[in-house]
Structure 1
Amino acid sequence: MGILDRFLRTARFSGGVHPDDHKRPAADAPLRVMPPPARLYVPLVQHIGSPARAIVAVGDHVRKGQRIGEPQGAVSAAIHAPTSGRVNAIGDIVAPHPSGLPVRGITIASDGRDEWCELETCDDPFALDPAEIGRRVARAGVVGLGGAAFPSAVKISGGLGARVDLLIINASECEPFLSCDDRLMRDRAAESVDGIAIMLHATGAREARIGIEDNKPEAIAAMRAAVAGHARIRVEVIPTRYPMGSEKHLILVLTGREVPAEGRPSDIGVVVHNVGTAVAVRNAVRFGRPLVSRMVTVNGACVRQPGNVEVPIGTLAGEVLAFCGGLRAEHGGPARLLLGGPMTGMQVPTLEVPVIKGTGGILVLDAAEVGEGEGDGSPCIRCGDCMRACPVGLLPLEIAARVRAGEVDAAARFGLADCIACGCCAYVCPSRIPLVQYFHHAKGELAARARGTQRNETIRTLTRAKAERVEREEREKAEALARRAAASLAAAAAAKQPAAVAEKAVEDASEEAGVCA
């Protein structure tokens, strides 16, 4: 790619920021595989959509890869045992969420054998019907591993119906501190490309483009070597800029196509998957392996041995950190614990939270990395930095002002629904106003209203249906009663008719006898 092409691609992308990436030395450390801990805490909701339903009981022995949670609804994902062992409990566990509130989950005590259940393998995935690939991915509980955790089978199967012509692999990994995709491409490039080829077959797309930011030269080299001989797959080097990992912005930079407001990539013939998802799809289709572990970046100044670790789903964050040498006490100790990256990840109050399918990182940051003590929460000075940084072209200061005033409907009119919660506005704000938190709050309130409206409409619909049913039943009862009455009268009339005939016969006989005498 030439300098002019790079410039033109960057020019398509308005807004965004250039934070220090903080990816090394974690990105350069060798990949490690963590053995299953003594206990795993597996939430039944680790994805967008409806939670799974437990299909095991306390005391059951399960094997690694065995389904323990059944998906519910069109958008949901199956949950599988990350190791072999005994089901200790089914109930509340601490959620990987800022609230620390409990969610329903399954606790498994490892038996130390890590024994797989029987798996359905496939020697030639390209001989399978595309719909069958979607079914196998669904059975494996694969979700998007870029952080959104959308059930992958829905996007794979939807590609055929939407006539998708381009598969984009999101390998930009623009979030600071995170390097799990970088490490995955360096160490498992051939597996990644094999998974991409399988997804090409499943979606019906004509070609695939792998978008990698130019700050990952080792990953670029490894992936280019792996795609050699694949005429329909190519690596695209893109500028390092946050939030390049947003699928709408990645599509714009790679193709020049713009996803319409409130639209989906499939509306313009594109489907986007994370590079980690490609490996999970390969494992599901070729080897029948469900998604029971994932690559996690462990990073931050407080971590003794930062790096990337393959972690069993359900492992507590504290145990992952212990596997990485524990925490440093220098620099005043930990100032913030995050699951995910510093821009879009969530701050959690405790290390006793489990890794789930969408957990791309465990960050323990010190005060310098957090940037504390710099005028936290000062009044807005109307500088406009947030507006210039917004990659969607919104007016964050105006939206935030209306949210703070409790005018969420007015905030919605300023385009709140188009906010991608990337955090660029909060990152550049000199007053350190927690803009993204305001937007999350407002979106939550609007969603609650929508649910309330839907619930009220459902109640009204059910009430009308009940009234109509009662009226119909009363009418049917009245009609049935009328029919029974008519039938009774007809029966009575029929019973009286023979007697009348007999009386007439007697009269006629008497008259005839009198004449004869």
Structure 2
Amino acid sequence: MKTFKIGGVHPAENKLSASSPIREAALPKQAVFSMFQHIGAPAKPVVQKGDEVKVGTLLAEAGGFVSAPIHSSVSGKVAKVDAVLDASGTRRMAVYVDVEGDEWEESIDRSTTLVKLSDRPELDSKAIVEKIKNAGIVGMGGATFPCHVKLSPPPGSKAECVIINAVECEPYLTADHRLMLEHPEEILVGLQLIMKAVGVNKGYIGIENNKPDAIALMKEKAKDYEGIEIVPLKVKYPQGGEKQLIDAVIGRQVPAPPAIPISVGAVVQNVGTAFAIYQAVMKNKPLIDRIITVTGKSVKQPSNLLARLGTPFQQLIDECGGLPEDTGKIIGGGPMMGKALLSLDVPMTKGSSGLLIMNDKEARRVEPQPCIRCAKCVSACPMGLEPYLLSKQSKLEDWEGAEKNDITSCIECGSCQFTCPSHRPLLDMIRLGKSTVMGIIKSRAAK
């Protein structure tokens, strides 16, 4: 069975909510929309205090080409435009909306009727990309890169295939799994739209073989969609990384930066993104909600919630039985790549894939010991890097050495830290080093 070739680890899956159907979360009393919900320039508010908005109303326009607009997920009145604490602990500009009812913009098709590509023959590549851009669609796997940018390849680049990332290799998270089980054909039409947007006739959906029900269902439904192949993959983390997925599905290796997937003819999008693209293009629905997994071994009701953007994390946890008494840490995302939250008074954004509540025992960090030179981190690294060296160079602030040893190629998957017998905070140090080196490179380029 296919998988990527270099490195990888096998953390416990803990897919506690895999059998929990998607259920709709309640509306918040107040929704808060950060202007920083994507990679690139922040969005610019176009509303002010006192304005009336509906579900789907434009709240903020894109701040540049690499940016995305933001739409209201609720109806009500703008309370203020002010700063909010985001998941990283940074204060960001945001639009606050006091919720009143649930009135939608009339242009949005709320029906569940499937609209196929053959039903919309007038859609060409330009029209599809424009609709995606105007709907504020970004990568739903966590990277939140604006989709219209990915679907506008640089001059001289040519796509040969589209790969949908349905791997969901991060432990605990099950939102993508449930999406495939409950909305398979919408995903397939979304993939067709992406294929048409970039001008290719071949599309793949990569799914790890720990989701046999999703593989079987998607294979059955894909029979009616020409040029689409479902690719079962061996379970291995971090197979959801773009470069690892491309290697696993089509056997091509993406070179080091500045090379990107299109450099080897591939366009990669998350399965949730394909679904959002279907909704945007076929239903005129901007990105106003998403599925988020709320889970943990002590959580009373691990769930997959369809929640409106701007809903506070505290409310989502309350809907799953509340915060357990033995809570030690709450992570935004999963245990491998997610980050600990400083507060639950944080609004859900386009990139919010999960809330993991860890108990005291799970959250407790073991005291780091000296490196024993076992090279397990080197064997585990899917990018072929030397994590022990990069972490040391970061600690010593040897930025020149870290850059020379390719620290910017790190995908921050955490495989090195997971496998380290000395419990060294390798990823923590490398993240700091990578951020610093990237800042140096940008400063150098600006001169």
Place the TM-score, normalised by the shorter chain, in its bin. over 0.9
1:214 aligns with 2:205: no
Paired position in structure 1 for 2:349:
356
| 1:424-483 deviation per Cα after TM superposition (whole angstroms, max 9, x unaligned) | 00011122111111111112222333444456x3xxxxxxxxxxxxxxxxxxxxxxxxxx
- What SS does the aligned partner of 1:27 have? coil
The DSSP-based 3-state class of the residue aligned with 2:18 is: helix
8 Å contact kept, 2:184–2:218: yes
Q: Is 1:119 the equivalent of 2:107?
A: yes
Structure label with greater radius of gyration: 1
Residue number in structure 2 paired with 1:466: none
Partner of 2:440: 449
Indicate if the aligned counterparts of 2:34 and 2:92 stay in contact, CA closer than 8 A.
yes
Distance 1:47 1:238 in 2: 29
Matched residue SS, 2:204: strand
The aligned counterpart of 2:333 is: 340
Q: Is the 1:160–1:203 Cα contact (8 Å) retained in structure 2?
A: no
1:295 aligns with 2:291: yes
> Which residue of 32, 36, 39 maps to 2:23?
32
The change in CA–CA distance for 1:418 and 1:454 in structure 2 (over 3 A counts) is: closer
- Structure 1: distance between partners of 2:338 and 2:120: 35
The alpha-carbon deviation at position 101 of structure 1 amounts to: 2.3
Please state whether the residue corresponding to 2:291 is helix, strand or coil.
Answer: strand
3-state SS of the aligned residue for 2:153? helix
Moved over 6 A (4+): 120-123
Counterpart of 1:188 in structure 2 is 183
1:239 and 2:227 equivalent? Answer: no
Match for residue 10 of structure 2? Answer: 18
1:228 and 1:243 map into 2 onto residues whose CA distance is 29
Contact 1:159/1:271 (8 A) holds in 2:
no
**Partner amino acid, structure 1, of 2:105:** C
Report the equivalent of 1:311. Answer: 307
Rounded to whole Å, the distance in 1 between the matches of 2:274 and 2:168 is 15
Instruction: Give the Cα separation in 2 of the matches to 1:443 and 1:177.
Output: 27
Q: Tell me what 2:132 maps to.
A: 137
Is the contact between residue 139 and residue 147 of structure 2 (CA under 8 Å) also seen in structure 1? yes
For 2:414 and 2:120, how far apart are their aligned partners in 1? Answer: 40
C-alpha displacement of 1:162:
2.9
Corresponding residue number in structure 2 for 1:322? 318
Indicate conservation of the 8 Å contact 1:51/1:71, yes or no: yes
1:315-345 deviation digits (Å, cap 9, x = unpaired): 111000011121222xxx1111111111111
8 Å contact kept, 1:145–1:274: yes
SS of the equivalent of 1:106 reads strand
Q: Which runs of 5+ in 1 are unaligned?
A: 1-5, 458-517
Go from structure 1 to structure 2 and tell me whether the alpha carbon gap of 1:452 and 1:229 turns closer, same or farther (over 3 Å shift). closer
Tell me, yes or no, if structure 1 residue 201 matches structure 2 residue 189: no
Identity %: 37
The one-letter amino acid of 1:287's match is: K
Matches within 5 A, 1:458-469: none
Give runs of aligned pairs for residues 29-428 of structure 1, distance below 5 A: 29-97=20-88, 100-112=89-101, 114-119=102-107, 124-158=119-153, 162-262=157-257, 263-329=259-325, 333-370=326-363, 372-374=364-366, 376-428=367-419
- CA offsets, 1:403-442, max 9 Å, x none? 1112121111111111111100001112211111111111
How many pairs were matched up?
439
Change (3 A) 1:159 1:136: farther
Counterpart pick for 2:427 among 424, 430, 436: 436
In the alignment, the residues of structure 2 paired with residue 136 and residue 118 of structure 1 have an alpha-carbon distance, to the nearest angstrom, of: 17
C-alpha distance after superposition, 1:163-192 (max 9, x if no partner):
211110000000001010000001111111
Larger relative contact order, structure 1 or 2 (CA cutoff 8 Å, min sep 6): 2
Q: Deviations over 1:134-176 (max 9, x none)?
A: 0000000000101100001111232897321111000000000
Compared CA separation, residues 175 and 161, structure 1 to 2 (3 A): same
Q: Quick one: structure 1 residues 63 and 196, their matched pair in 2 at CA, closer, same or farther if it must change by over 3 Å? A: same
Contact 1:178 1:361 in 2 (8 A): yes
Counterpart position of 1:491: none
Equivalent position SS for 1:391? coil
8 Å contact from structure 1 (residues 47, 151) kept in 2: yes
Residues in 1 aligned to 2:350 and 2:58: alpha-carbon distance in whole angstroms: 15
- Supply the distance in 2 between the matched residues of 1:341 and 1:349 (Cα, whole angstroms): 16
